Amino acid sequence: MARPQFKRNGEIDKQLEDLVKASSWKQAVALCERRIKKGDKSDAASVAKAHVLQACPDVGRQQQGTKELERIISRDPPILDIEVLRSVHIFAVFRKSPLDRLGTPWLRAAKARPDDEKIIKAWFETMFDTRYYKYAQEAAIMYKTRFPYNHQAHFWYIITCQLLAESKDSESVVRKLNQGLVFGNLAKAAKALTNAGGKLTNGLVLENLEDLLLLLRVYQSQGRFQEALDVLDDDRAGIFSRIGNKSWQLVRHKVELLELNGQWQELWQFCRKVLSGSHPKALFPKSTSTNSAFGRMGDDWAIWSRLIIATNQICTDDTFSQAEACIDSFSVFSRNARIARLKLFASYPIEDADIKSKLSIACQEHFTDFSTKYVCFLDLSPYLPSLRPEHKVELINTGAQHTRSLTPEPNDPEAKAIQWITSEVNLLKLHYHLSVSNYPSNVARPLLDFFVCRCLRLYKLSLALDADLPISERRAGDDAAILAAMTLIHIWDLEEGTALLRCVVILETLLLRSPHNYDALLILIRLCVNVGTPSLAMDHYLQLSVKNMQNATLSWILYTRISMLHPYPYVSQSQNDEAVTVINVPENITAALEWHAGAAQLNSHYVNKMLRDGQYNMLLNALALENPLRVGFARLLLLVEWSRIQRLTGASSDVNYSNFLDDASGEVQDNRDMKVFPNYEWQSHSPFGNRVEHNAPEDILWLSHQLQIINAWDILDGSEHINGEFLRNICEADPLSIDQSSDLEKAMIKILLYGVQILASYKLGQKPEAFREHIVKGLERLASFQEIASQVLNGSSEFLEGLSTHWRPKLATPNASYLQHYFGVFDVCHAIRRCVSCVMNLNEENKIVEPASLLRLSARLMAGNKSIALKAEEQASIMQRGLRGERAVRDTVAAAFDGQDERQDMIGEELQKTIGQPNMERIAECLRDSWIEALDGIVKAARYLDSKSDLSKAL
């Protein structure tokens, strides 16, 4: 939690804030005392002085501030200023004061003014805002007791009970108690409304739709489905009541509850009534005409899907026939009904040849009617696995015949040509899904080559169309190029070759014409990282314009291990050589971290507004989003990369995000969007996102190990987060028991833990003899790890060549493994440097180890680091020199067009026709420059390590 700001008269106290930020503690205390002496006898002035004293680094001043604050909040009369009470609470939360003290000042103020509603509401809102629901509940109890006719007071109490019932931090007894309180109060509210013929005795009553939605949410979460259905059918509280007002939300709630309660016959009948329009027309106040795309309001997929589920559960010929007839009556004008027909036949629980034939016919008809729409394949794909093999062939043949019938004549308008291209693309998607994705590896290559060429030819034909579309639109033939790229990835699985290079070339060409094609950008970012062109990946990531929540769901696509691929800023130049953009990776990660830090505050602002407006259902949804943001994988991944960039490059930041580590102590939630990539694979096959890896484990275990590294690094850096209990646990830990996914990371965590154990043995006051032995053994172990890192860099030529990609005999380029290999070695060396620095400084103060022998051992370690840095710089520079000049461009062009074995092939010839020599040369230049840029990062990092390898600088 960030330090709260000092305020005066409702505004930020800039003068005091500036002194505190500058750590001018004496001047800050003097300012507070001067204000009090000049006549400011307010509680605000006294509390500000106490908070400044508590913030001072001097222990005596801290104790003085605590005593002063205790005196103020314990005096009679109590503090009655709401802003001062909020300040006392927020600073107490920041200092992690005992929880049982947090509500005391508010309780005394509320008792002193029993009729002051503002104080009780402020008490509740302050506790709620800081997520202390137990103390917010205490305020709500007093609120509803003092103001029994206040509707808000009762529902604020219900909300706190529900949050405590859902909280994982609450004990099971507390959760069960609060579940009972929530249900009991909402049941009373519903009953009070039902029996509201006379005067209401209090404010505990359902007043509006939000109250009713809260009741349904609570009943559903507790498994009280029948009670919720009874409320929905009630004349005073249900769908047709004044409160329900025929809300479509309630209709959807009812079908969901009927499904959960297993009332299949009632669900089936209700869905039929809604679909047939047998309910009063007032249920559909804005119903559309029957010839629209989706029919009237009842034509909702939530209704169709539940109708089919109920039909399959009842499973009688009569219900099936009636459901089929209902679908047929809508199918003329409703796409939902057409999809429902597919689902009905595909999910039928009994194996029936006639049903399978109907599914085949339905799929063929759907393709025939919707093949000119982008969504055609998306509609069909969930139901294709249910087709029999002969029916799949029939679908392909029917699709091909229909698509041929759409072939435009020379004088036809462009719109007809676009329809034909779209239909061809949907047919290719069917081919890919049903055939290409399923070919056995021993016969795949010729068929895959032919499919790639077919896709490229279609894409080339589409280039003359959509000339007047804005650049933000998806072009008709774009997906043909994406299918070609995905098929090349299959070829790469069979024999690596130049397939990934060709993927990059095809997608780069697509983006020349459709620069905002989201699918192409996502795939290309992953491919560019894999082939060792991280600067190109960052260029394309910039085109995605990632904002807000996407920092939590999408940022992992680029930022996973970006610190070990390209940790330095670089200049990105546009195609016209005029617009120049500096892409600064550390700054971009910092911006994403700042969004995460601010997202909680922004969410809190909206939550408080929902609370005041009585939008309780939305409020619970917003609160459910807070925890995934706070302990989300992406947030902690960004912290890992930001920290490693600092270690590898010496980059610094004005903001310290180490407090994020406090959130990592709980359960990490993986909030990455893994389904963001387009996926046309057969259902049992891995999607694209799992097939092109760049040597990153990308799982929770890997993340937890990286966070251990940050923690250990902070301890060796003298971080304030150290505590005796943590050090004792570290001392007892065995670094050899830690399992890591890579040898270099395993070495890294062991090195840091050895260093922390040395520090811990000193901090915990071990005897000098034991400490001396610990230091010597620890440094000897560091030397052995350094020897491993050195051997990795001086390995056999076959090993080093295996880390790079050889597109042609004389064209060797770095790939993701190559870059991560070097930066991993550098990270190990910096860890050794950190440990040496820590040990030398400790020994400088205490002289536990004989200084001369320690100096010799430390000097040997630093010399080893310097040797590694020089060797790495030499190796990267040699590869850089091989990439400079026009020869590398020509070899890249030849690798894309002629393949790896310097012979013409089918795909290469089609690529040359589609892309053309000038475009290919431009793309090759971009690839070459990016490879050189990546190698330049290794050179810079090696020089930084070299500069830090002098023993005098390590101290």
- Measured between alpha carbons, how far is 363 from 224 in angstroms, rounded to an integer? 40
3-state SS, 580-644, equals EEEECHHHHHHHHHHHHHHHHHHHHHHHHHHHHHCCHHHHHHHHHHHHHHHCEHHHHHHHHHHHH
- Measured between alpha carbons, how far is 113 from 247 in angstroms, rounded to an integer? 43
pTM of the model: 0.84
Q: CB within 8 A of 911, min separation 6: which ones?
A: 456, 502, 505, 506, 896, 897, 920
**What's the sign of the alpha-carbon dihedral 187, 190, 193, 194?**
negative
Cis check: omega of the bond before 77, within 30 degrees of 0: yes
Residue-wise pLDDT for 456-514, tens only, equals 999 999 888 866 655 556 788 899 999 999 999 888 887 767 888 999 999 999 998 88
The whole-number pLDDT of residue 602 equals 63
- Measured between alpha carbons, how far is 308 from 319 in angstroms, rounded to an integer? 10
Q: Is 23 exposed, middle or buried (0-12, 13-18, 19+ CB in 10 A)?
A: exposed
The whole-number pLDDT of residue 885 equals 84
The whole-number pLDDT of residue 841 equals 77
- Measured between alpha carbons, how far is 121 from 138 in angstroms, rounded to an integer? 12
Helix 518-530 to helix 499-513 angle, to the nearest 10 degrees? Answer: 150
Q: Is the pLDDT of residue 560 over 60?
A: yes
Q: CB within 8 A of 532, min separation 6: which ones?
A: 805, 813, 814, 815, 816, 818, 819, 930, 931, 934
Structure tokens at 647: 């270690």
Residue-wise pLDDT for 624-651, tens only, equals 877 777 777 888 888 888 889 988 998 8
Q: Is the pLDDT of residue 704 over 90?
A: no
Q: Is the pLDDT of residue 666 over 50?
A: yes
The whole-number pLDDT of residue 279 equals 34
Output phi, psi for 205, to 5 deg. -155, 150
- Cross-strand bridge partners of residue 7: 12
- Measured between alpha carbons, how far is 71 from 66 in angstroms, rounded to an integer? 9
The whole-number pLDDT of residue 284 equals 43
The whole-number pLDDT of residue 346 equals 94
- Cross-strand bridge partners of residue 570: 583
The whole-number pLDDT of residue 516 equals 86
The whole-number pLDDT of residue 68 equals 86
Structure tokens at 810: 């004389």
- Cross-strand bridge partners of residue 813: 805
Q: CB within 8 A of 350, min separation 6: which ones?
A: 315
User: Which region among 11-25, 216-230, 680-694 has the lowest average model confidence (pLDDT)?
Assistant: 680-694
pLDDT confidence of 267, banded at 50, 70, 90? very high
The whole-number pLDDT of residue 456 equals 95
Q: To which H or E segment does residue 813 belong?
A: strand 811-814
Helix 585-613 to helix 633-649 angle, to the nearest 10 degrees? Answer: 150
Place of tokens 């209090």: 202
Structure tokens at 327: 């679908």
Structure tokens at 846: 């205490």
AA identity, residue 552: A
**What's the sign of the alpha-carbon dihedral 59, 62, 67, 70?**
negative
Q: Is the pLDDT of residue 285 over 50?
A: no
Q: CB within 8 A of 513, min separation 6: which ones?
A: 463, 475
Return the SS3 of 570.
strand
The whole-number pLDDT of residue 481 equals 94
Helix 518-530 to helix 478-494 angle, to the nearest 10 degrees? Answer: 30
- Measured between alpha carbons, how far is 254 from 247 in angstroms, rounded to an integer? 11
From residue 414, how far is each of 423, 426, 471, 476, 697 by CA, in Å? 14, 19, 18, 11, 48
What would the mean pLDDT of 670-676 be, rounded to a whole number?
79
Return the SS3 of 345.
helix
The whole-number pLDDT of residue 734 equals 47
Residue-wise pLDDT for 176-214, tens only, equals 999 999 999 999 998 887 665 545 667 889 989 999 999
What would the mean pLDDT of 230-235 be, rounded to a whole number?
91
User: Which region among 9-18, 191-200, 208-217, 403-412 has the lowest average model confidence (pLDDT)?
Assistant: 191-200
What would the mean pLDDT of 561-573 be, rounded to a whole number?
86
AA identity, residue 770: A
What would the mean pLDDT of 346-366 be, rounded to a whole number?
92
Residue-wise pLDDT for 140-155, tens only, equals 999 999 999 999 999 9
Q: How many other CB atoms are found less than 10 A from the CB of residue 653? A: 14
What would the mean pLDDT of 111-124 be, rounded to a whole number?
92
User: Which region among 233-237, 299-303, 503-507, 696-700 has the lowest average model confidence (pLDDT)?
Assistant: 696-700
pLDDT confidence of 578, banded at 50, 70, 90? low
Residue-wise pLDDT for 876-892, tens only, equals 998 999 898 888 888 88
Q: How far is CA 412 from its chain centroid?
A: 47
pLDDT confidence of 937, banded at 50, 70, 90? very high
Q: Is the pLDDT of residue 377 over 70?
A: yes
The whole-number pLDDT of residue 191 equals 87
Task: Give the residue from 933, 814, 788, 806 showing the smallest Cα distance to 868.
Answer: 788
Structure tokens at 933: 């840029």
Structure tokens at 487: 């098929």
Beta carbons of 933 and 565 less than 8 angstroms apart: no
Kindly give the residue spans of alpha helices, DSSP state H, lying in 301-440. Answer: 301-314, 317-330, 335-346, 353-370, 376-380, 389-405, 414-434
pLDDT confidence of 84, banded at 50, 70, 90? confident
Mean pLDDT for all residues in the chain: 82
Burial 272-289 (b: 16+ CB within 10 A, else e): bebbebebeeebbeebee
**What's the sign of the alpha-carbon dihedral 319, 320, 323, 329?**
negative
The whole-number pLDDT of residue 952 equals 61
AA identity, residue 556: W
- Measured between alpha carbons, how far is 369 from 377 in angstroms, rounded to an integer? 12
pLDDT confidence of 17, banded at 50, 70, 90? confident
- Measured between alpha carbons, how far is 65 from 47 in angstroms, rounded to an integer? 9
From residue 592, how far is each of 552, 585, 629, 661 by CA, in Å? 9, 11, 12, 16
3-state SS, 761-812, equals HHHCCCCHHHHHHHHHHHHHHHHHHHHHHHHHHCCCHHHHHHHEEEEECCEE
Q: CB within 8 A of 294, min separation 6: which ones?
A: 288, 334, 335, 336
The whole-number pLDDT of residue 690 equals 64
Beta carbons of 18 and 27 less than 8 angstroms apart: no
Q: To which H or E segment does residue 814 belong?
A: strand 811-814
